[in-house]
Amino acid sequence: MIDRRLSIRALSLALVSAALVPSISLAQTAVEGMPALNVTTGADGETQYSLSLQILALMTALTILPSFLLGITAFTRVIIVLSILRQAMGTQQTPPNQVLISIALFLTFYIMAPTFEQIYEKAISPYLNGQMQPVAAIETGAAILSEFLILNTRESELAMFAEMAGDAPYESNEDVPYTVLMPAFITSELKTAFQIGFLLFLPFLVIDLVIASILMALGMMMLSPMLVSLPFKLLLFVLVDGWAMTIGSIASTYVN
Compute the average pLDDT of residues 49-56: 67
- 152, 254 contact by CB (below 8 A): yes
CA dist 240 and 255 (Å) reads 26
Helix (H) or strand (E) holding 39: strand 39-41
Confidence of residue 18 (pLDDT cuts 50, 70, 90): very low
pLDDT at site 78: 92
Which has more pLDDT, 44 or 161? 161
Cβ–Cβ contacts within 10 Å for residue 113, how many? 11
**pLDDT score of 13:** 42
| pLDDT recorded at residue 39 | 55
Q: Is the dihedral angle over the CA atoms 83, 84, 85, 90 positive or is it negative?
A: positive
Residue 99 is which amino acid?
V
Per-residue pLDDT, averaged over 114-138, amounts to 85
Beta-carbon contacts of 35 under 8 Å, excluding residues fewer than 6 positions away, are: 50
Tens of pLDDT along 182-237?
889 999 999 999 999 999 888 888 888 888 888 888 877 777 777 788 888 888 88
pLDDT of residue 164: 86
Sign of CA dihedral 175, 179, 181, 184: negative
Q: Omega before 95 cis (within 30°)?
A: yes
pLDDT at 33: 42
Q: What is the mean pLDDT of residues 144-164?
A: 87
pTM of the model: 0.72
Q: What is the mean pLDDT of residues 34-50?
A: 56
| 3 state SS of 132 | coil
Distances (CA, A) of 98 to 85, 105, 145, 194: 15, 10, 28, 21
Neighbours of 193 (CB within 10 A): 22
Q: What mean pLDDT value characterizes the chain?
A: 77
Give the per-residue pLDDT at 80: 92
79-101 pLDDT, tens per residue?
A: 999 999 988 888 878 888 899 99
Instruction: Please list, in sequence order, all residues whose beta carbon lies within 8 angstroms of the beta carbon of residue 224, skipping any fewer than 6 positions away.
Output: none
Whether 147 shows a pLDDT value over 80: the answer reads: yes
The b/e string for 196-229 (b: 16+ C-beta within 10 A; e otherwise) is bbeebbeebeebbeebbeebeeeeeeeeebeebb
**Count, residues in the chain:** 256
Weakest mean pLDDT among 53-62, 80-89, 150-159: 53-62
Burial readout 130-162 (b: 16 or more C-beta within 10 A, e: otherwise): eebbeeebeebbeebbbbbbbebbeeebbeebb
- CA-CA distances (angstroms) from residue 230 to 71, 80, 198, 205? 34, 21, 19, 11
